[in-house]
Amino acid sequence: MRKSSHVQYDLQYHLVWTTKYRYKVLEGKIAERVRQIVLQVCRTKNVTILKGKVGKNHVHILASIPPSISISQFMQYVKGRSSRQIQEEFPNLKKRYWGQHLWSTGYFARSVGTVTQEIVEEYIENQIDDDDANFKVQK
């Protein structure tokens, strides 16, 4: 459970993004630098990485992201910052990525947690009084 000034949250996401054309360029110093940049971006945005890995053509992270940041905002920021810095620091990549885009346009995101939909539904069902049947969802 994480806290900010007016909210407690436990939001965890599995995020994956790939290099453009799936080129296997994330090796050695480039992979290490991508890792450093992602960590730096996460610290800046108050995002906690619980687990992560930089593969040869993709990045996986399990992250806790504050509710004030949308997944798309976070992904835009992390991909934009890392692409720009990696291409500045490794000019040989500019030949391969002439459009200045290291990452493919999409990404994968899935929320994760230990509470299932059935548990939440059961919890809500047990909280509703019989007098408040107007708010129940019909199946």
Q: What gap in Å lies between CA 107 and CA 13, rounded to an integer? A: 12
Q: Identify the pLDDT of residue 49.
A: 94
Check 9, 97, 107, 123 and give the catalytic one: 123
Q: Identify the pLDDT of residue 138.
A: 53
Q: What gap in Å lies between CA 4 and CA 118, rounded to an integer? A: 28
77 is catalytic: no
Beta bridge partner(s), residue 117: none
**In 3D, which of 11, 107, 115 has the Cα closest to residue 63?**
11
Beta strands per DSSP E along the chain? 2-3, 8-9, 12-18, 48-54, 58-64, 108-112
Helix axes 28-44, 71-89, angle to 10 degrees: 140
- 12-18 and 58-64: which strand pairing? antiparallel
Structure tokens at 93: 């990549």
Query: pTM for the whole thing?
Result: 0.83
Q: Where are the domains of the chain?
A: 2-113
* Architecture of the 2-113 domain: 2-Layer Sandwich (3.30)
Question: Under a CB-based contact definition with an 8 Å cutoff, are residues 63 and 42 in contact?
Answer: yes
Q: Identify the pLDDT of residue 116.
A: 83
pLDDT tens across the length of the chain (139 residues): 888 788 999 899 999 999 999 999 999 999 999 999 999 999 999 999 999 999 999 999 999 999 999 999 999 999 999 999 999 999 999 888 877 799 999 999 999 987 888 887 787 777 655 555 555 555 5
